[in-house]
Amino acid sequence: MLDGANARAAPSRVWLSGHLGLVLLFLYGPILVLMALSFNQAGLPTAWTGFSVKWYGVLLENEAVLAAARNTLIVAVTSTLLATALGALLAIGVEYRRRGPALEAVLFAPMIIPDIVLAIALLSFFTLLEFTLGLHSIILSHVVFNIAFVCAVVRTRLRGFDWSVFEASVDLGANEATTFRRVILPAILPGVLAGAMLSFTLSVDEFIIAFFTAGPGQGSTTLPMQIYSMIRFGVTPEINAMATIVMAVSFALVLLSQRINKGSITG
């Protein structure tokens, strides 16, 4: 849209495109290197010795990794279901009626507060209440930031919503439950699905809050916690293989969420 104004500045245009290309290389280069090295035959971290999928086999036989993956699925699915229901209702309520600065602050806080602060706050809270820690406390904690993200995505969906349609439906004799199901839900459904997918991705990837609220013992180790402890031992092809799978799943879910609801990931 700025083409007209700057049409004669052709050389700067080439520079800008070149710069954008380099930025994309910077963003994707490291991830692609990681993915390529996961197919490296030798156990050496970086010298290429031939194509092989054997590290994926090694990974799938690692009991600790499989147990962590199972825990992560339990946490992500449960926290996503809870956060999607609560976040979507909240979005409708906030858009329809109340929009005070305090409410906006509470909805914005989980997105900007440093993870480590939320993590220690939740640990302090659970400890003070003498709450036993485990997968359930990770779930309770993940719902906190997931509510905020689901709510934000669904709200963008409702921004242009014509609330008089809603009033008309009620005036015409439909009760509020029917109106919700037949009028509001269809309008927000893409946003709800997209928000659910983003929240699932965020939960699968979240490390610090899970680390602090998992409690002692190995029983509730999640995949990022497992990845963290493996990374501390150094670069291995097995981590590269795991990283490749996790990144591929994230990318697929995020792209799907953007496809269902345009603007989900780009605001």
Partner 1 sequence: MPRSLLRDWILLGPGLTWLALLLVAPCAIVFFFAFFERGVYGGVDYVFGFDNFGRAFDPLYLSIFLKSAKIAGLATLVALLIGYPAAYAIARAAPRRQTVFLVLVMLPFWSNYLIRTYAWIVLLNREGLINQALTALGLINEPLSLLYNEFAVVTGLVYNYLPFVILAIFASISRLNPETLEASEDLGASSVRTFFRVTLPLTIPGVAAGAVFVFVLSIGNFITPDLLGGGRIQMVGNIIYDQFLTARDWPFGATLSMMLIGVMMILLFTQAMVVRRMQGDREGAHA
By CB under 8 A, tell whether 251 contacts partner 1: yes
Structure tokens at 195: 């928000």
Backbone angles phi, psi at 50, to 5 degrees: 125, 160
Cβ–Cβ under 8 Å, residues 138 and 148: no
Instruction: Pick one of 25, 28, 53, 165: the residue that binds partner 1 (CB under 8 A).
Output: 28
Minimum gap (Å) between residue 63 Cβ and partner 1: 21
Binders of partner 1: how many residues, by CB under 8 A? Answer: 92
By CB under 8 A, tell whether 43 contacts partner 1: no
Residues 82-121 that bind partner 1 (CB under 8 A): 85-87, 89-90, 92-94, 96-98, 103, 106-107, 109-110, 112-118, 120-121
Structure tokens at 223: 């995949």
Cβ–Cβ under 8 Å, residues 108 and 148: yes
By CB under 8 A, tell whether 62 contacts partner 1: no
Minimum gap (Å) between residue 140 Cβ and partner 1: 6
| Pick 1 or 51: Cβ nearer partner 1 | 1
Q: What is the Cα–Cα distance from 239 to 226, expressed in whole angstroms?
A: 10
Minimum gap (Å) between residue 66 Cβ and partner 1: 18
What are the residue ranges of helices labelled H in the chain?
3-6, 10-37, 54-60, 63-96, 101-112, 115-128, 135-158, 163-171, 176-179, 185-205, 208-213, 223-231, 237-260
By CB under 8 A, tell whether 2 contacts partner 1: yes
Residues 118-177 that bind partner 1 (CB under 8 A): 118, 120-125, 128, 140-141, 143-144, 147, 151, 176
| Pick 53 or 170: Cβ nearer partner 1 | 170
By CB under 8 A, tell whether 196 contacts partner 1: no
Q: Which of 158, 138, 113 is nearest to 220 (CA)?
A: 138
